[in-house]
Every structure is written in structure tokens, then in C-alpha cells.
């Protein structure tokens, strides 16, 4: 079967292996662990640099997770800066909650062998 790249996702490829599904899931969920230390982008980056070389499917998930975590980090910086005008006190927890829910959803999709594209994400890593 021929593999094509459409919109940043690999199509026409065979189903991912169980190992690829696990690493795809970890690409997303590792951000939650790294986020506890303030560096949520490190988990997906490490997965991309290590396992992404072995599997294009894992690489796609890692890039998507990395782009999302970079976007969330910038959004949180903006929210924290806006705490001076009190808007940030609502905005920061809201951004964090949405990021948590979407990250878990993406991890579940990856574990089910599906590709997931985060909404409202700046895609810096291609």
C-alpha cells in the first residue's frame, strides 16, 4: 500500500503496531509528567528525538504533541502576564484545564491507533 503525506499526517499506511501505539500515547501523556516541572514540551521532544526516528507514526504524534505544548506554554505565559489586570486568574486555570483534557484525549486516540490533531495549535515543528 502506498504511503502519502496529507496535511502533515501519514495516510494509506498500515495499522500501527502495539509498540507504536504505546509510544504515540506516551508522546502526548509525557507532557503531563514534564509539565509538573514546568517543561511540558520536553516529554514529546524526547519521544520525537528517540522513537520518532524508528516510526513515522510515532514521529507524527510527537510533533503534534510538541507543537501543542509549545502553544500551551505561550498561552500560559500570556495568561500569567495578564494576572496584573485580573483576567489571568480566570484565563490561566482555563488554559491549563483545556490542555489537560486535550492531552488526555490525544493520548487515548493514539493508544487506539488513531491520529489526533489538536485544535488552535501553532505548528512550528513540521
Give Cβ neighbours of residue 119 (< 8 Å, ≥ 6 apart). 102
Q: What's the chain's length in residues?
A: 126
Q: Express each pLDDT in 68-91 by its tens digit.
A: 999 999 999 999 999 888 998 999
Mean pLDDT: which of 6-15, 32-41, 110-119 is highest?
110-119
Mean pLDDT rounded to a whole number for the chain: 89
Pairing of strands 9-11, 4-6: antiparallel
Give Cβ neighbours of residue 57 (< 8 Å, ≥ 6 apart). 10, 13, 16, 20, 24
Q: How confident is the model at residue 67 (pLDDT cuts 50, 70, 90)?
A: very high
Is 60 exceeded by the pLDDT of residue 9? no
| Count of other CB atoms within 10 angstroms of residue 26 | 23
3-state secondary structure of 26: helix
d(CA 13, CA 48): 19
> What pLDDT was estimated at residue 57?
94
| Residue 48 · residue 66 · CB < 8 Å | yes
d(CA 108, CA 12): 21
Q: Delimit the domains of the chain by residue range.
A: 14-111
Is 70 exceeded by the pLDDT of residue 125? yes
> What pLDDT was estimated at residue 14?
75
Amino acid at each position: 500500500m502506498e504511503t502519502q503525506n496529507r496535511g502533515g499526517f501519514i495516510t494509506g499506511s498500515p495499522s500501527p503496531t502495539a509498540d507504536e501505539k504505546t509510544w504515540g500515547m506516551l508522546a502526548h501523556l509525557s507532557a503531563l509528567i514534564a509539565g509538573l516541572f514546568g517543561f511540558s514540551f520536553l516529554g514529546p521532544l524526547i519521544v520525537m528525538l528517540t522513537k520518532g526516528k524508528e516510526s513515522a507514526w510515532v514521529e507524527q504524534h510527537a510533533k503534534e504533541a510538541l507543537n501543542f505544548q509549545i502553544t500551551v506554554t505561550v498561552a500560559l505565559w500570556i495568561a500569567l502576564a495578564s494576572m496584573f489586570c485580573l483576567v489571568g486568574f480566570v484565563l490561566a486555570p482555563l488554559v491549563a484545564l483545556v490542555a489537560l483534557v486535550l492531552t488526555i484525549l490525544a493520548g487515548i486516540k493514539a493508544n487506539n491507533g488513531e491520529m489526533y490533531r489538536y485544535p488552535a495549535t501553532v505548528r512550528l515543528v513540521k
